[in-house]
Copies of this chain bind each other. A is one copy, B any other.
């Protein structure tokens, strides 16, 4: 049977057959005087075996050594490969989770530009750094519960509250000024809404903000405001 026939019957390309010959994986039974390759039944069987092993994702080099030296390395080869694939899967799965989280957060934002994306990635990495896996799980659930509108509303509220504080400080008000009480209370309720009341999460959040000053700045909290905010929250009974 000619190479075209074999290709058609096995559904692989002529080039691939050439390549396998080059690798010494599958040699034609003989050549015609014109130099055309001819394959026999044994070659068809060999090819099917090659394809079976290839389907396991084995590198062709290992396929060859399995088929040429049919000794006892089969189990070893499979187990080695199994480990490789296991590693790949766990790797890709981790990546998938990151991507999903990044995508979800991107969809949240108004303008999904490249800059937004970069910031989101940074934030996602930060989250992974400061929260435990379980906490992230919990946060994701809360996120679901609240729903997109509520989230958007929160973002609005935060902007509002932060700018109120900024202005108060600019006007020279004391952090303990009674007019700031509602703002302080709103602040705390926003944190509670985010954390679902989970103390550990609140504390992770706090260390994160303390360690990554740039994060606060992004949302409009200058380092100079931190002490002010701390004072303000203490007046309504917030304990660190």
Contact = CB atoms under 8 A, between A and B. Distances in A.
A113 B52 contact: no
Given A112-B74, A118-B49, A85 B103 contact: no
Interface in A61-79: 66-67, 70-75, 78-79
A161 to B, nearest CB: 28
A104 to B, nearest CB: 10
B115 A70 contact: yes
A106 interface: yes
Interface string A98-112: 111011001100011
A47 to B, nearest CB: 13
- As for how many copies of this chain the complex holds, the number is 2
A12 interface: no
A89 interface: yes
A80 to B, nearest CB: 10
Nearest to A81: B99
B106 A75 contact: yes
Given A70-B113, A75-B103, A112-B72, A52 B92 contact: no
A86 B96 contact: yes
A57 interface: yes
Contact of A117 (B78, B117, B118): B78
A114 B78 contact: no
A103 B82 contact: yes
Contacts of A88: 92
A48 to B, nearest CB: 9
Interface of A: 49, 52-53, 55-57, 66-67, 70-75, 78-79, 81-82, 85-86, 88-89, 92-93, 95-96, 98-100, 102-103, 106-107, 111-118, 121-122
Given A49-B118, A70-B114, 9 more contacts: A53-B118, A57-B99, A66-B114, A74-B113, A74-B117, A82-B96, A82-B99, A89-B93, A89-B96
7 contacts: A49-B118, A52-B121, A56-B95, A56-B98, A67-B114, A74-B112, A78-B99
